[in-house]
Amino acid sequence: LFDTIWKTIRVDRPKIIAVCDVSGSVAQVSRFLLMFLYSLGEIIPKVRSFAFSNQLGEVTNYFEEHKLEDAVNNTLHNWGMGSTDYGGALSNLERLTSSEIDRKTTILILGDARSNYGDPGASALKGIHQKAKRVLWLNPEPPTFWNTGDSEMQKLGSYCDQVDHCRTLKQLERIISDIARKTV
């Protein structure tokens, strides 16, 4: 009477590329931001992580192969506490990941958007945004500090789908839950 047909459902796993500013301007919250990266890798598969101050470097393996404290220390030692170069970091990110970014990719940037009056990298972020599913920016500074001094949050935020203040564990928990819910 019936022909049994099994339907195969293909599950496309989302991809996340996370970028963390570990420069001197965010030195007080760098560990917090790096804990965020570590947490993200624990709950969402396929997270590729980068850190930068004056140069961008991939730190994915630090968070996959080491305990939290060791991963954070390695990241800060190798990539942290220099003078911020958002223009260079975002250009390098675009170059290193351009073949991977597609409509399944969420880009997550953690930083204060303080460019030291240099190139903020808006054109590179625009190119990344055009290819990605979405771009999220988490800024540890209060919104009242955005767009003051050398902050380029308004310019860079225009190429983001969402910009949030994130400095406390409660804010972090809310954002991780939101990211996990929207990417799975």
- pLDDT tens-digit profile of 48-106? 999 999 899 999 999 889 998 999 899 999 998 788 999 999 999 999 998 999 999 99
**Predicted confidence (pLDDT) at residue 180 exceeds the cutoff of 80:** no
Q: Is the pLDDT of residue 47 over 60?
A: yes
Residue 55 sits at φ, ψ, to 5 deg, of -140, 150
Predicted pLDDT at 13: 64
As to burial, measured by CB atoms within 10 angstroms (0-12 exposed, 13-18 middle, 19+ buried), residue 166 is: buried
Q: Specify whether the CB–CB gap between 130 and 122 falls below 8 A.
A: no
Find the helix or strand (DSSP H, E) in which 77 lies. Answer: helix 68-79
The overall average pLDDT reported for the chain is 87
Contact call for residues 164 and 136 (beta carbons, < 8 A): yes
Reported as a pLDDT band with limits 50, 70 and 90, residue 168 is confident
| pLDDT at res. 75 | 92
The count of other CB atoms within 10 Å of the CB of residue 105 is 21
Question: Token pair for residue 149?
Answer: 């001094």
Q: What is the pTM of this model?
A: 0.86
Check residue 150 and give its pLDDT.
94
| pLDDT on residue 38 | 78
pLDDT at residue 184 greater than cutoff 70: no
Cα–Cα distance list, 17 to 40, 53, 93, 117, 151 (Å): 10, 17, 9, 26, 23
Q: CA 134, 33, 120: angle at the middle one, nearest 5? A: 60
Distance from C-alpha of 108 to C-alpha of 78, rounded to nearest angstrom: 21
pLDDT bin (cut points 50, 70, 90) of residue 9 is low
